[in-house]
Chain A
Amino acid sequence: MIKLGFYPGCSLEGSSREYSESVMAIAKKFDIELVQVPDWNCCGASAAHNMSKELALSLPARIIALAEKAGFDELVVPCAACYNKITVTKHELFEDVTLKERVKDIISLDYTGNIKILNVIQMIEKYIIKDIDFKLENKFLHKVACYYGCLLVRPTKILQFDRPEDPQSMDNVMRAIGAEPIDWAFKTECCGAGLTVSRPDVVNKLSGNIVEDAISRGAEAIVVACPMCQANLDMRRPGIDKYLNKKTTIPVIYLTQAIGLATGCTEKELGLQRHFVPVNLS
């Protein structure tokens, strides 16, 4: 059994519990133990960087420091925003020693920055994909639109994960479980998450374009790896439908849920009942 550090972040405790459930479900399937970082805090994703740079760095730095203290070499961070913030913090503190000392002082913890941060796709690539053929129970024979969103691949120079314009990693994972990823135009377009409270009309438009392109190219599901993307494309669907002026039924699932379905997890284990747009894929 492999033991990895796990940082759920607030989304996975609240609006995206099914992401957490499905990550846990497939981890169990593939003999991975995900251990929560003790006493973890918010990464500051949506608000902190607007308030203060030191706060925006200290929040993620504290998470890293706690994970290091707990003795993990690798930390799995499923939420794309958390992943982005934590990785960017690691990078900035690596580049600037004075800043690192200042932040260490603020959080009053030891900090080395040597821990490796994995998003869910990276965790799957590293620990799951090699065993997937053995665990595959029913192939996921669906046309899917892999939607990466903006945070997973950018800024490229810092994240160094997949190619920024037309990423492929999630497509490859989907191929491994028998799905057919479509070639489409909105893989990394913004879903409007930053304006989801203040300007839902903008979200409806941006997310609507994404949903429409996926449907028009024959996708049966949109596969995501980010709680904000999922929430916008799923929860905001009534508004999206109004913008598109038609009723759409394409479900928006996490890639972990797709893997779960292919490896024989139950719908309940994967939290599929929690979606707003019903998921009828099996």
Chain B
Amino acid sequence: MNADQAASGETRIKGVAVSQGIAIGSAFVFGSSLQDVRPREIPETEIENEIVKLDDAIDKAKSELTQLGEQTQQMLGERSAEIFEVHRLMLDDPELIGECLRRIRAERLNADWIFLQVLEKYEQTFSQFHDEYMRARIADVQDVKRRVIRHLQGSAKAPGDGLPGPAVVFSADLMPSETIHLRRDYVLGFATELGSRTSHAAILARSLKVPSVVGLGPVCQKLTTGDPVILDGYSGELIIHPDPETREKYVKSHDLYQALAQKLVRSCRLPARTKDGKDIELAANIEFFEEVQPALEDGAMGVGLYRTEYLFMMRDELPGEEDQYAEYVRILDALHGQPIIFRTFDLGGDKAQKHFHVHQEANPFLGYRGVRLYSASEEVFRRQLRAILRASVRGKVRILIPMISCVSEIRYCRRVFDAVREELRAAGIPFDEEIPFGAMIEVPSAAISADLIARECDFLSIGTNDLVQYTLAVDRSNRYVDDMYRAFSPAVLRLIRETVRFGHEEGVWVGMCGEMASDPLATMALIGLGLDEFSVSPVSLLVVKEIIRRVHFDECENLAERMLSYGTADEVEQYLGSVYRRKFRDLIIADPNHAYARRGRS
């Protein structure tokens, strides 16, 4: 978020890289065009509707400003964040809002036009100030003006619509409902003011393989559609008006990357099999229908984690059985018989508050979330199971229950599952009788007792994101402790080893759907620990497949054993890094997590 205006004229802004790759092209600022604002007469019956539109746009702008403020405060401190508070106060200003409403009613003109007029009047006044510091407030008024107009126009279109041609798309933030409109062939890159690695926009950008940077701070106001930009999805840097030398440098590394990607794509149809013949099931994590096709193109053998929460967060009401059924059928058809693991809804904290009477919790991560919601809202759980079961005749379905921490939870879920199956049988509705039922292992208690849980189900899938945070007692969004969040901690590795061993002893297969499975640095180690299935973020498919195909199972076992002898995460990463550099030097540029650059260096 620090802008440097170099002497040359290019501007560099640093955000958070969330999807690898380099985008070179012109900017398209989503819904920011003030020239499009024209006066339009509004029929009397529509006036109140127009006012609601303005209220909505202002609310959206204010919530963005609150988030920008929080983000800035975390990164740069309180003083830097204060300007967003000022912008928010402008949108709370009783005089300003009052004038807009009065004028919309009196002049019967469209909200965006009136808002523009009112704000430009203030700009006019500020521009006549003698005090230079006071005059600078014009920039704030302009920022607020564009932010609200963007939302007023945004309600009518989605990003990606109206793209004149391939462009780097800029937006304040994207809701899942908006992101899915992005057209892969037109969006060269994708950048937002808000967001983090785990935000929807980030997840989607990664799966669509669009270079992407989020958390750039207030950038939409600095850009005009058509400005030449470079977006670096490795370093998180945005360069506006790049110098010719900068451009040339980027074109070169872009070409290098493309060449390697092309090389890897050639082997993506080949099986994920080690040199000595051990088959690994390599699948993709997805959340949206749109991600299925690109994942299959990169050689995924199905979906190892389908996150269904998105359906529950899209609208204000919970999805009905028919809505879910239709979506599941669409996804199963796109998979053409490849297997898919449905993870039943995994909501918690604020995501669950709306529907599940969740109260403010002191410790949401230790609270009411995942499977713990099901018994009190059994009808919602049943409805989802019915939809999945009915859709199951269209493909190869597996079901996975999130946040299992003890045996009684998985037993309860199985009872409900059996009851729903009985209902369907009684009603003569066909479904697949052989659906495997699995437990997600992401709580240490579940990992430690994975043998007991494995006896109750057909497979286990390790979710590393929560497992790491619960095992190490580290909230990775807390910047005071986030450096202690280490997937390669000996304690986490031992839990993974035990889970795999317990699962195998009980005769069930064990997969992993957490972020660690996508990390190329972990691939050999996880093969060596005996993992049967990897479900990875789609962008990692090619590189993980390539690694699997280049190694022997016994060398992975040796590596895993040696890895487990180290005392710290640093030592483990150093060791894995040294092996990685030796064996996979040519893959380093394709490494989505920059494991080589970031870690494992002595």
Genuine A/B complex: no
**Interface set of A (CB-CB < 8 Å, partner B):** none
**Interface set of B (CB-CB < 8 Å, partner A):** none
